[in-house]
Amino acid sequence: MTLSAFLAGLLAETLRDPRSAARRLLALDPPMEARWIGLLLISVLTLIAAKLMLASVPAEEIQPWEQVWANAWAGLPIQIASLALFAVAVTWIGSLFGGTGRFADALLAVTWVQGVMLVPQAVQILIFPVLPGVSGLIALGSVVLFFYLLSQFICVVHGFRSAVAVFFGVIGTLLALGIVLAVLFTMLGVLPVGPEA
């Protein structure tokens, strides 16, 4: 089986039966170096997708934080740091509730789910110039899909049963992580403090 065929099959299984796909993914047990390379690759692709999306949006409608996120020098480190820190949070918080997952597996799961989200994002980029309203619905559906898949994958990583409890844990973790990153990057001058004069 070729790599492209394997990834396509895993993608289809992720959408059809995310827990089965998560077990299949974790069973691969790639070396840590490969997991970090995967994280870097997905971060680069996410950055490219963000730039393509903003290219079809009128300049006056682009928010400052969106410009930062799509900037190669600022957006890529932010993307990598966000995914890595979220994997750390998934590992640590999961362990507080009796989870048995490793950081390596949390990193792999978070990276894969982020990679899967590139598919609806690509569709959104293609139809936005023609059907912006539909593109907005796809964006909303993508958010729901992201939390659903991530909750299911974390259940497998930590051995949890309730995806609902994990879902609320993910929401809380992302809110806390978002606040920490916003404060950190604002202090570093990466994100604007307020509207420009």
| Distance of alpha carbon 120 from the chain centroid | 12
Q: Could you give the count of Cα atoms lying within 13 Å of 80 in the half-sphere of its Cβ?
A: 14
Q: pLDDT truncated to tens, each residue of the chain (197 aa)?
A: 788 899 999 999 999 999 999 999 999 999 999 999 999 999 999 999 988 888 877 766 666 666 666 677 777 888 898 899 889 989 998 998 899 999 999 999 999 999 999 999 999 989 988 888 888 899 899 999 999 999 999 999 999 988 888 988 888 888 887 787 677 767 666 555 444 43
User: Is residue 178 within 8 Å of 83, Cβ to Cβ?
Assistant: no
Sign of the CA dihedral with 189 first, then 169, 30, and 18 last: negative
pTM: 0.84
Q: CB 1: neighbour CB atoms within 10 A?
A: 6
Contact 125, 52 (CB under 8 A): yes
